[in-house]
Amino acid sequence: MKRSRFMLYLLWAQAIYYMLTAIWSLVHINSFMLVTGPKQDLWLVKTVSVLILCVALALLYGACYNTDYRLIRLIAVSAALGLAVIDIWYYLQGVIKWVYLLDAFAELVFIACWSTLKISRSQLFR
């Protein structure tokens, strides 16, 4: 059994979203901070961006190659959940701007989409 079209689209969508947001802060930190607010530790912003790129690469791997989709789903959902919790928590603490709630919404959409997928035994280790 092939992976579903929905799973493939979801992998590509989440990977591209992560790549764009991560690359943005690496390539043009000034415009990134214009939208998201000033940052004190630019090295930390760039470190998080590199880690988000790593997640994006794992998702792209899952989109391009047959693999253990349970692992890909774990990476996708745990990254989205972690980012959503951070966005919401630090917005409520008054640390970050409201624009991060847009990211939290996107992350929750990814989680909802992943929760609708059932991965059959035949889709594992192909």
Global pTM reads 0.88
Residue pair 8/63 in contact (Cβ under 8 Å)? The answer is yes
Average pLDDT score over the chain = 92
Residue-wise pLDDT for 13-38, tens only, equals 999 999 999 999 999 999 999 999 99
Whether pLDDT at 106 is above 90: yes
- CA 100, CA 102: separation in Å to the nearest integer? 5
DSSP secondary-structure letter at 66? -
Look at residues 12, 14, 11 and name the one whose alpha carbon lies nearest to residue 80. 14
Which has the higher per-residue pLDDT, 27 or 2? Answer: 27
Model pLDDT, residue 67: 83
Q: Is the pLDDT of residue 120 over 60?
A: no
Break the chain into its structural domains and give their ranges. Answer: 5-118
Instruction: For 33-75, write each residue's pLDDT tens digit.
Output: 999 999 999 999 999 999 999 999 999 999 999 888 889 999 9
Please say if the pLDDT value at position 1 is more than 70: no
Contacts of 95 (CB under 8 A, 6+ apart): none
